[in-house]
Amino acid sequence: MTSATYHYTPLLSESSFRVFRLLTPQPGLVVPDIIEIELYEADLDTATPEFEAISYAWGQEEADATIICNGLPFLVTPNVVSVLKALLHRPESLRVLWLDSICIDQSSIPERNIQVPRMRSIYRQATKVWVWLGEGSLEVNLAFEFLHEVTRGLEHLKECDYVFTSEIWEEPRKLFHARICETRGYHDPVDTNFIVDLLNLPWFQRTWTVQELVLAREAVFLLGTKSIRWKLFTYALFHLQDVENYSLQITRTSVSNPASFYDDLRCYLRIDSLWHNDYRDSPMSQSLKLVRTKKSTNPRDKVYGLYGLFDHIRIPRLPQVDYTKPVQQIYSEITRVAVEVDNSLEILEELRLPPRIPDLPSWVPDWSNPDYVNSAPPIVAFPLATGESKAKWEFHQSELATPGTVIDEIEEIAPSSSISSPGFRRGYNARQKDLGGPLQRRLATIELVRTLQAWTRCSRRIKSYPTGYYRESPKHAFFETIKTEKLPYFSTSEKACEAAPQGFEDFVSILMANDPANHIDLATIHDIVRPMPEYTAIRNDFVAIFGCSTRVEEWSDEMKIRLFLKVYSPEVALIQHEVALNTYHRTFFTTRDGYMGMGPRWSEPGDCVALIAGLCLPFIARREGSKYRLIGPANIHGIMRGERWDENQIKTMTFV
């Protein structure tokens, strides 16, 4: 073999693009030692050949695998080799393909600047998009096999008949749950299961895959040798989630627990709705928000990875793709365009995560930060924290000026030290194999319990609540502040507001059981939960993943509390899940006027509570002379329905 390697020839025009033919191996050779392709140029605007596109995760792999391109060696990642070998075994594939790492000269910034905006046309014109998920672990393969079995029964039905399919589901679902129990000892729908392992494969974490999927005429998921069409894949997951949620008495709005498939799929489905159903409610802000949790190697791609979609709906004044621009400039420009195109300041609600990119204006979200943060409770239409006010704004270079008012300030912030482990919300296999090991997982759990205890102690320093709703008790106000909208509905009648719901009372009693002033102690609670059916299996699970002793009596108080919260009742377990998710990047605080709130963990005593015209949520802001720095959105019980909004107090607030 020659020592020369393949080098790209520059494309002839801006409408040119490359595709390649996957060459059939010699007769009798089932799997070739080296994949061979023929790469050639085509034109999107003239006689475009029929071709299929490949969507896959680049990941962190080095390009150290060799294929033969036009007779010369060409380096690709092992993942690329895997998907090409898989397609050789699929007779329905055209084998004329487009794949970005082969068809775009990644070393040429000028070519990338031209080809990235063309990807919308490429994925729209492809006859099919093959979504390569990889080979899969034991857990992933079990989940995919279950969905594959179910969707095989749906293939020959009309979509309107999908609802009449209980017999198709019942046996595969029973078998799937049995396999989960066989592996982990029990099945708990409020906790992680193997579907989450599937939805946490690298492909689902990548920014670029969103537009690649949504723009596809037809998308087919490939895992090893098995395949499922995207439409059937989503239907199967939503049906399965409905069954799981029914057992917990929660609704489709729940995005709380790690087993929530809605949370993982809503990004694709909502963006699909934005473009295909002509839904135009803040399309840019919604799209940037929905891909926030996705990852990209280059932080610029958190914006450029959506350009195919933005181009599809003809967003005006969209800055040109330019990989030489500083990230700060790209993020500032796209945020400004989103405000103007959407005619809304809604995008400011994405300031709920701390910036990683230095020197960003405080009103510009750092799109490169994909960390998990629980969404603020959704407020539908009116009432709003700012009444029926309309958003107004002016940009002055790097500053944003908008009408608003300061109504309160933070007085006390509860210590919040909860952290997420590397396997957080990534599924059973990831949880079992956290790089930090049992010690790190145990420390994360201990800090979570301590954080929730600190919040409870802080709330108890409020002796009466300023809302006056039905003589609302501080305990009920605390519940309303730290819960999420995903918990089961609780009445706000006069009697209900005098105390918190019983499930929350039980939650607090267990949480504070190592406090000498608590009415029930840890030993008593242990006696209550020990006879419960799930106790032994869940205890053994804790022993395995946290490295605890088999004797619960030897555990730290915090680990006992976490076990008891999980075992005591499904209602308490669900509350614990919801409230715990609210701790990441957020903290509990009280204000000078006696309100309780949840806001960014990097808030400080003395920070202002501001209401900004046209926004649903209050914001925490920090004075910088006569101007302000935005810290992030907050949820403050008692002012979320416009109670403190006063048009007569409005002034121009300038955010730097």
Q: What is the mean pLDDT of the chain?
A: 84
The dihedrals phi and psi of 655, each to the nearest 5 degrees, come to: -110, 130
pLDDT at 489 over 90: no
**Of the residues 94, 127, 160, which one is the last residue of a structural domain?**
127
Among 84, 109, 127, the domain boundary falls at: 127
Residue partners of 290: CB distance under 8 A and separation at least 6: 210, 266, 267, 270, 271
Q: Are strands 399-413 and 608-612 parallel, antiparallel or unpaired?
A: antiparallel
Kindly state whether residues 139 and 96 are assigned to the same domain.
Answer: no
Q: Does residue 345 sit within a domain?
A: no
Whether 356 maps to a domain, the answer reads: no
Domain that holds residue 119: 16-127
Residue type, 635: N
- Based on the domain organization, do 20 and 101 belong to the same domain? yes
Query: For 570-596, what is the mean pLDDT?
Result: 90
Pair 113, 198 in one domain: no
pLDDT tens sequence across 157-211: 655 554 545 566 677 777 777 777 777 665 554 445 678 788 888 898 888 888 8
The pLDDT value given to residue 470: 61
Indicate if 53 and 144 belong to the same structural domain. Answer: no
- Looking at the chain, how many residues does it have? 656
Residue 95 CA from chain centroid, whole number: 34
pLDDT at 383 over 50: no
Q: Are the beta carbons of 596 and 636 closer than 8 angstroms? A: yes
Q: Cα separation of 223 and 141, whole Å? A: 8
- Which amino acid is it at 585? H
230 and 183 both lie in a single domain: yes
Percentage of the chain lying above the pLDDT 90 cut: 51
58 neighbors 121 (Cβ within 8 angstroms): no
**491 plus 521 within the same structural domain:** yes
Note whether 536 and 632 are same-domain residues. no
Indicate the pTM of the whole model.
Answer: 0.82
The least confident of 75-79, 169-173, 341-345, 462-466 is 169-173
Greatest C-alpha distance within the chain: 85
**In this structure, is residue 577 part of a structural domain?**
yes
Coil/strand/helix, residue 221: strand
Closest among 49, 611, 563 to 383, alpha carbons compared: 611
Residue 353, domain member (yes or no): no
Q: List pLDDT tens digits, range 589-606.
A: 999 999 999 999 999 999
Q: Which 3-state string (H, E, C) describes 550-562?
A: CCHHHCCHHHHHH
- Report which of 118, 46, 132, 121 is spatially closest to residue 81, judged by C-alpha positions: 132
One domain, residues 455 and 591: no
Q: Are residues 98 and 121 in the same domain?
A: yes
The per-residue pLDDT for 513 is 96
DSSP string for residues in 132-185: EEES--HHHHHHHHHHHHHHHHHTTS-GGGTTS-HHHHHHHHHHHHHHHHHHHS
Shared domain check, 121 and 27: yes
CA of 630: how far to CAs of 456, 612, 645, in Å? Answer: 27, 11, 19
Give, for 399, the enclosing helix (H) or strand (E).
strand 399-413
The verdict on residue 600 lying in a domain is yes
pLDDT tens, 386-408? 998 999 999 999 999 999 999 99
Total count of domains within the chain = 4
pLDDT digits (tens, 9 = 90+) for 237-271: 777 666 555 554 544 333 334 445 556 666 767 76
Q: How far apart are the first and last CA of the chain?
A: 60
pLDDT of residue 493: 46
Q: Which residue matches tokens 């003239």?
A: 46
Q: What is the mean pLDDT of residues 347-354?
A: 93
pLDDT value at residue 282: 67
Region 139-166 average pLDDT: 71
Does pLDDT of 64 surpass 60? yes
* 3-state SS class at 466: coil
Is 282 part of a structural domain of the chain?
A: yes
Same domain assignment for residues 199 and 264: yes
Q: With 90 as the cut, is the pLDDT of residue 103 above it?
A: yes
C-alpha span between 48 and 42 (Å, rounded): 6
Query: Residue 540, class by beta-carbon neighbours within 10 Å (0-12 exposed, 13-18 middle, 19+ buried)?
Result: middle
Residue 391 lies in a domain: yes
Has residue 348 been placed in a domain?
A: no
The predicted structure's pLDDT at residue 319: 93
Read off the pLDDT band of 623 (50, 70, 90): very high
Instruction: Please give the distance of CA 237 from its chain centroid, rounded to a whole number.
Output: 16
526, 559, 581 — which closes off a domain?
581
Range in 359-368, 422-431, 502-511, 575-584 with the lowest mean pLDDT: 422-431
pLDDT at 190: 46
CB 376 within 8 A of CB 600: no
Backbone torsions φ then ψ of 107, nearest 5 degrees = -85, -10
Q: Specify whether 300 is located in the same domain as 159.
A: yes
pLDDT band at residue 492 using 50, 70 and 90 as cut-offs = very low
